[in-house]
Structure 1
Amino acid sequence: MAGGETTGENFFNTIQKPFPDVVDGKLDTEKFLEAANGTVTLLEHMGRGFTPMARDLSGNVGKLTKVYLSDKLKNSTINDMLIAERDEGKNNVAAEALIWYTRSIHYLELLLDKLLDEEENGSSDIKEILNNAYATAVKPYHKWLTQQAVTLVARASGMFISKASICRALNTSSDKDEFQKDYKAFVCNLNVVRCHVQHFLTQENLDNKTPV
């Protein structure tokens, strides 16, 4: 196979755009939003069980996009956009949207990472994988009532989710090695950007951890 040639299509080498590299400690907003919209589509491809989460992500990406479009030059990087919003004494729409978006993609990152590991080595129940990802990434920021509501939704959603169906939906025609390479590259990319954003939010005292 010639260098750079792929052996078929999958979600990660066709639809999903990579998150931008961190340049001088900052993330390009337009490229970030393009990739963020891809994660919404990713969840939609993963099946009906992920519809509530896809809608949540879409809402937060929409809020970030609206703030970005209000002044593209001023908001050219995610970092500058949040600092400007804070310094202008606004109501932190972008910060709150980014906080929840980042928590959600942490959940997605843990889920994807575990699914790939399970495909190679294990046999854990999909509900256990979902519950563990939620407990780590999102549950600490939910009040008890919200936790119960999420648990009920997760139980209902679990009827429409399987490890095999997720992988089939994301890999349309590429061979297994090609798919796993692209899959792992995306999870790594997601981790790098998520960690950078969470560090930035904490550093700038923008990470509101109050449970809702």
Structure 2
Amino acid sequence: MASASEENQNRFSFEDVKSFPSVTNGKINIICFLEATSDLITLVGRLGKAFAPVKYDMQGNVDKIKMHYDYNEDSCLLELMLDEHSKGEHTAVEGVLWLNRALLFFELAFREIILCLQSRNYDENMKKIFTVAYEGSVKKYHNWFTQQLFALICKMSPTLPQIMKSFEIENNDAFETRLISFNATLNSVRSKIDDFFMEHNVLRDSM
């Protein structure tokens, strides 16, 4: 018999996903950021067992942030990163770096899915979409073995109709509108984090 938490996750749909927070006065609310990221990770889990390594890697980086930062409802992610960097520490900062790379992967994948929805092309090969996203985001940071693993993940990816079914999509047009809005806030936050790394010369050797 499934537990209550398992049943709740089974009922989780794309409509339940929280959007990433707006960048306000150059700040990113850490709680809203973590909530949106956690919801995205739950969606990744709905893509099937092939994406389990991606899910666990993202969750591991979220855990680093939660474990190493003391924060409240008003805390800014960027300020916490700068404070950690000023102390010569980088555990959580590295977690943010790798998490942001994963966010870029999904931003690019969602952008390709949006194009498919707009053209009513529901038969597009998701292996192609995920490969394009991978090559435009994290591939250059991975060694040969990890690249081969990700190639396998892309090959085993579900079809777009299967993804929409797993996200419990009932209206294609509403999904398209919601995904466009979600991806816009994701891009805004992710780009701001990228700017932070460049402006403050944080982990420059890893960029």
Q: Same fold (TM over 0.5)?
A: yes
Alpha-carbon contact 1:60-1:100 (below 8 Å) kept: yes
Map 1:29-178 onto structure 2 (within 5 A).
29-68=30-69, 71-72=70-71, 76-90=75-89, 92-121=90-119, 122=121, 123-155=123-155, 157-158=156-157, 161-173=158-170, 175-178=171-174
Deviation at 1:154, TM superposition (A): 3.5
**Structure 1: stretches of 5+ with no match in the other structure:** 1-8
Structure showing greater relative contact order (alpha-carbon pairs closer than 8 Å, 6 or more residues apart): 1
Superposed CA RMSD in Å reads 2.2
Match of 2:199 in 1: 203
How big is each residue's C-alpha offset from its partner over 1:122-159, in whole Å with a ceiling of 9 and x where there is no partner? 4542211111110110111123343233324433x33x
After TM superposition, the score normalised by the length of structure 2 is 0.84
Preserved contact between residue 65 and residue 96 of structure 2 (Cα < 8 Å): yes
Q: CA deviation at 1:85?
A: 0.7
**2:13: which partner in 1?**
11
Q: Contact 2:46/2:167 (CA < 8 Å) preserved in 1?
A: yes
Q: Distance in 1 between matches of 2:130 and 2:201?
A: 30
Question: In the superposition, relative to structure 1, how do residues 147 and 87 fare at CA in structure 2: closer, same or farther (>3 Å)?
Answer: same
Q: 1:47·1:166 contact (CA, 8 Å) conserved in 2? A: no
Runs of 4+ with >6 A deviation? none
TM-score normalized with structure 1 length? 0.82
In the alignment, residue 128 of structure 2 is paired with which amino acid?
E
Give aligned pairs, total. Answer: 194
Distance 1:146 1:56 in 2: 12
1:90-131 deviations in Å (ceiling 9; x for gaps)? 2x0111111110110111111112122123324542211111
Mapped contact 1:57–1:104 kept (Cα < 8 A): yes
List per-residue Cα deviations over 1:145-191 (Å, max 9, x = no partner).
Answer: 43233324433x33xx1111111222344x22222211111111111
